[in-house]
Amino acid sequence: MTDIDALALRLHAARLERREIARLTADHPDLSLQEAYAVQAAGIALREAAGERVVAVKMGLTSEGKRRQMNLHAPVYGVLTDAMQVADAGTLALRDAIHCKVEPEIAFRLARPLRSRMTRAEAWACVDGVAAALEVLDSRYVGFKYFSLPDVVADNSSSFRFVVGSWRDPADVDVRDVEVRMVVHGVVAAVGRSSEISGDPVVSLQQLGDLAGEYGLHVPAGCVVLSGAATAAVALEAAAVVRLDVAGLAAVELVVSA
């Protein structure tokens, strides 16, 4: 077995057992970003072998707020399966997670596959739906901390669960610079603007096209893309109701149980 598969299994087991582990670079200090994406892909292959289906891709670390919170300084992607999706207004059980956090996202549904080096107009032409979304992150690393980009990439960019609200026609919305407001149990927990996502959330699609081309991921028609959180993530507590309001889009909700 190659190291890549062994590392993927290490993270896979930690996730299934809800157990924190040391970051991979503690004993693989030379893990490259290329190898980290290979570990991520091997982890997704393990999930597919267990019957899960890839339905979405998420960009991460596309806003300054997130990069500062994680002390990591370049955008990354992660792959999301049907088993990670929670219905709008559905429930997430904290006992399924290690130490999860929630963050506000804007989702795009693709009518065409993403490619490398797309212009903004070309990326926008791939989109046939826009929705508000919540992403729940959960790191497999001790204390939800890591000190390198390869660690977080290998851990599928801390992916855990996501919720997508009702889709709107892209012709009816302009999400370049709108307010994003996440409310937890009636109290505003995070406020930002969509322009904090790569300057424009559509730019996240262009960046994903480039990263996917570089690391060998196919982002097909029908795929959903989360463009990255506009604000820092917020730790989740039981009995909370999380709602995200994005101006011009339908609100999306998540209920959190113990």
Instruction: Determine if 103 is a binding residue for ligand OOG (CB under 6 A).
Output: yes
- Judged by beta carbon distances under 5 to 8 A according to partner kind, the member of ligand OOG, Mg ion, none in contact with residue 56 is none
Place of tokens 């065409």: 112
Which CB sits closer to Mg ion, 229 or 244? Answer: 229
CA distance 98 to 23: 15
Q: Which two tokens stand for residue 2?
A: 């190659």
Residue spans of beta strands (DSSP E) within the chain: 54-60, 76-81, 85-86, 90-93, 101-110, 127-137, 159-164, 179-184, 187-193, 224-226, 234-235, 241-246, 252-257
To the nearest whole angstrom, how small is the minimum distance from the Cβ of residue 159 to Mg ion? 8
Least separation in angstroms between residue 159's CB and ligand OOG is 7
Q: Which stretch binds ligand OOG (CB under 6 A): 5-13, 59-67, 116-124, 234-242?
A: 59-67
Does 175 interact with ligand OOG (rule: CB under 6 A)?
no
Answer whether 103's CB lies under 8 Å from 233's CB: yes
How many positions of this chain bind ligand OOG (CB under 6 A)?
15
Considering the complex, state which of residue 10 and residue 141 has its C-beta at the smaller distance from Mg ion.
141
Question: Would you say 121 and 200 are in contact if contact means Cβ atoms under 8 Å apart?
Answer: no
Nearer to ligand OOG, 81 or 139 (CB): 139
For ligand OOG, the binding residue among 58, 109, 140, 181 (CB under 6 A) is 58
Closest chain position to Mg ion (CB): 135
Considering only the C-alpha atoms of the chain, give the largest distance between any 2 of them, rounded to a whole number of Å: 51
| CA–CA gap between residue 108 and residue 227 (Å, rounded) | 8
Q: Which of 135, 151, 200, 245 binds ligand OOG (CB under 6 A)?
A: 135
> Is 153:76 a contact under the CB 8 Å cutoff?
yes
Our CB check for Mg ion shows the closer of 4 and 229 to be 229
Q: Find the shortest distance in angstroms from Cβ 137 to Mg ion.
A: 6
From 39-47, 82-90, 152-160, 183-191, give the range in contact with ligand OOG by CB under 6 A.
152-160
Cα 21 from Cα 14, distance rounded (Å): 7
Record the tokens describing residue 19, joined without a space: 């157990």
Does 81 help bind ligand OOG (rule: CB under 6 A)? no
User: Is residue 60 close enough to count as binding ligand OOG by CB under 6 A?
Assistant: yes
Q: Where are the alpha helices (DSSP H) in the chain?
A: 3-17, 33-49, 64-70, 120-125, 149-154, 201-215
**Shortest Cβ 110–ligand OOG spacing (Å):** 18
Residues that bind ligand OOG (CB under 6 A): 58, 60-62, 66, 70, 103, 135, 137, 139, 152, 157-158, 228-229
